[in-house]
Amino acid sequence: MKPTYYVTTPIFYVNGAPHIGHAYTMIAADVLARFKRLDGYDVHFLTGTDEHGQKVEKAAIDAGMTPQAFTDQISASFRDIAAAMGLSNDDFIRTTDPRHHLASQALWTRLQDAGHIYLGGYEGWYAIRDEAFYDEGELVTRPDGIKVAPTGAPVEFVTEPSYFFRMSAFQERLLAHIEAHPEFIGPTARRNEVLGFLRGGLKDLSISRTGFRWGIPVPGDEAHVMYVWLDALTNYITALGYPNENAELWRFWPADLQIVGKDILRFHAVIWPTLLMAAGLPLPKRLYAHGWWTIEGEKISKSLGNVIDPRELVQAYGLDPLRFFLLREVTFGSDGDYSRKAIVGRLNTELANDLGNLAQRSLSLIAKNLEGRLPGRGVLSDDDTTLIAAAEALPVVLREKLDRQAFGEALEEVWKVIRAGNGYIDRQAPWALRRTDPPRMAVVLRVLADLLRHVATVLQPFMPTSMSRMLDQLGVPTDLRDFAQLRSPLPDGTPLPAPEGIFPRHVDGAA
Ligand code: ME8
């Protein structure tokens, strides 16, 4: 039986068009899902849309549509983006799915039956943009005297009857859990923020609203709809068949990794685990908060008009180069800036020059001088064995990096090997060996082909289509492309198709 691996993205609010920030979360999770599949895991990868609440209802009204028609339309656009970003998700959940109503109401009932829910009244501030409650003390006063949420979102004063979740009762247990499991929240700086927040004291959480209707009705009291975050968080278990804990997919709970943006870590690191504790369910093994992207130094916003549709970037640069750039350019966990100059620079240097040229040079020498057949390894020099050892270590090295979501470091390790390959080909000069020592030329080209096979195999999760083309050119059969297969060398004499360039160069300023 393969070990299981469950990875999730946040579910996206359907209040506007998908942008590069959403694509980022999706691609990061996809790389991990693909990596784990190649590494022998039974993977479940979930993404989807978050469709209830006042923010979405308001967006529907603004668009002159019913919430259902509106959410159908925008949810479809997120599904399209997921496909356009090459996502290998196993499921796409919508919180308007009947299965999700069932799961959310079942979770509510379970909490209520266990005595964790009581009826009270909420009096305080609410920010629709954040779908979050704020205390008076958390608000900030803008220069014009208006009070807003710490995120800058407008707030309104709300007084309404509300059900509460006894979250305060779980403060100590959650603190103890986070302290005992240093890997539970990453990166460390964010973990410390959560700890600081928890030490400040946990209050009970208002978990129902009465001012509007676009939500899941509270079981037994239909005047209330569930607070959208309660419903949203439940999606991660709905998708595994909750409340049926005998469902086939339930084996994937607890999740191995839940990726979120830094703005929504607190909901995942405080509300979600306390709800699970109250329901008697295990907690996810790890939450990781990534940073935010800006565009050419500016915050992404509709009013600035800089919301780039990720599909335009795919058209300009190709999907794989975009996926590579997003995970290579900034440390996962830190904020990053998208600029045309940065992407063109990365693609030309690292994809076209370093990797593309190495493959093209090696493969065209095999095509020209060895009748396009993979040569045998023969007797290896120290230079050969050092290079091969570095290439062969890649799956193990990357496993450790990616288990910490260190995408940039993982890619740097691959590029070290690629750069070493470029140094090797220059030093060994197989084009000169063609005259002086043809058997040695054959060995050098085999070493390079083996290096490229390892590189292309471990880069598949990042750049699935291009690396599949590279593996085709290296003569690797499609069913021999997972990490375990790297231990079996390709037979000498394997015929290779004619090599073709994989990564074009971009001219700065174009596109
Ligand atoms: O928060 N850079 O949905 P959402 C990087 N429905 N990431 C960004 C970004 C940017 N500029 N802008 C947004 C929600 N994101 C809830 C989640 S989960 C049970 C419910 C990220 O559509 C953001 O950090 O507002 C978040 O992780 C994701 O996009 C979805 O944001």
Residue 508 — pLDDT band, cuts 50, 70, 90? Answer: low
pLDDT at site 34: 98
Mean of pLDDT values over 170-198: 98
Roughly how many angstroms between the first and final C-alpha of the chain, as a whole number?
A: 48
Q: Give the phi and the psi of residue 391 in degrees, each rounded to 5.
A: -65, -40
- Give the Å distances, CA to CA, from 115 to 111, 121, 171, 225: 6, 17, 17, 19
Nearest CA to ligand 1 atom 15: 21
Per-residue confidence at 67, pLDDT binned at 50, 70, 90? very high
Q: Which ligand 1 atom is the nearest neighbour of the CA of 293?
A: 2
Quote the ligand 1 centre to 22 CA distance (angstroms). 6
- What CATH architecture is 4-291? 3-Layer(aba) Sandwich (3.40)
In the chain, the amino acid numbered 336 is G
Positive/negative CA dihedral, 188, 193, 198, 203: negative
CA of 381 to the centre of ligand 1 (A): 52
CA of 261 to the centre of ligand 1 (A): 6
Please write the tens of the pLDDT for every residue from 12-50: 999 888 999 999 999 999 999 999 999 999 999 999 999
- Atom 9 (ligand 1) nearest CA: 21
The CA 292 to ligand 1 mean position distance, Å, reads 9
User: What pLDDT was estimated at residue 268?
Assistant: 98
Is it the case that residue 510 has pLDDT exceeding 50?
no
Confidence check: pLDDT of 99 > 80: yes
Q: Which helix (H) or strand (E) holds 26?
A: helix 20-38
| Cβ 54 vs Cβ 130: under 8 Å | no
- Tell me the average pLDDT across 423-438: 97
pLDDT tens for residues 203-262? 999 999 998 999 999 999 999 999 999 999 999 999 999 999 999 999 999 999 999 999
148 bridge partner residues: 140, 154
- pLDDT band with cut points at 50, 70 and 90 for residue 511: very low
Task: Classify burial at 133, counting beta carbons within 10 Å of its beta carbon; exposed 0-12, middle 13-18, buried 19 or more.
Answer: buried
Ligand 1: distance of its center to the CA of 30 in Å? 16
| pLDDT given at position 297 | 86
Instruction: Calculate how far, in angstroms, residue 12's C-alpha sits from the geometric centre of ligand 1.
Output: 6
Separation of CA 131 and ligand 1 centre (Å)? 12
355 CA from centroid of ligand 1 (Å): 33
**Six-digit token string for 233:** 């968080």
Q: How far apart are CA 296 and CA 291, in angstroms?
A: 16
Map out the domains of the chain as residue ranges: 4-291, 340-487
Per-residue DSSP letter, 490 = P
Tokens 């997003």 locate to 326
Q: Residue 308: what pLDDT?
A: 85
Atom of ligand 1 nearest to the CA of 232: 19
Measured from the Cα of 300, ligand 1's closest atom is 11
The secondary structure of 116-143 as a DSSP string is -EEEEEEEEEEETTTTEEE-GGG-EE-T
State the pLDDT at residue 303.
Answer: 67
Res 343 pLDDT > 90: yes
Q: Is 145 left (phi over 0), alpha (psi -120 to 50) or beta?
A: left
Residues in the chain: 511
Label the pairing between strands 4-13 and 185-186.
unpaired
Residue nearest to atom 13 of ligand 1 (CA): 21
Q: Hey, whose CA ends up nearest to atom 18 of ligand 1?
A: 10
Amino acid at 156: E
pLDDT reported for residue 296 = 87
Q: Which residues line ligand 1 (CB under 6 A)?
A: 10-13, 21-22, 24-25, 50, 232-233, 235, 260-261, 263-264, 292-293, 300
Give the domain 340-487 fold.
Isoleucyl-tRNA Synthetase; Domain 1 (1.10.730)
User: Residue 423's pLDDT is what?
Assistant: 98
Residue 298's pLDDT band (cuts 50, 70, 90)? confident
How many of the other CB atoms lie within 10 Å of CB of 397? Answer: 17
Q: H or E element: which one contains 410?
A: helix 407-428
* Half-sphere exposure in the Cβ direction for 417 (13 Å, CA): 32
243 phi/psi in degrees, rounded to 5: -85, 5
- Which residue lies with its CA nearest to atom 25 of ligand 1? 13
Two structure tokens written together for 436: 């002086």
C-alpha 457/C-alpha 466 separation (Å) is 11
Q: What is the mean pLDDT of the chain?
A: 96
pTM of the model: 0.97
198/413 Cα distance (integer angstroms) = 37
Task: State the CB neighbour count (10 A cutoff) for residue 202.
Answer: 20
Determine the residue of 292, 309, 334 to mutate for testing ligand 1's pocket, defined as the one with the most ligand atoms within 8 A of the Cβ atom: 292
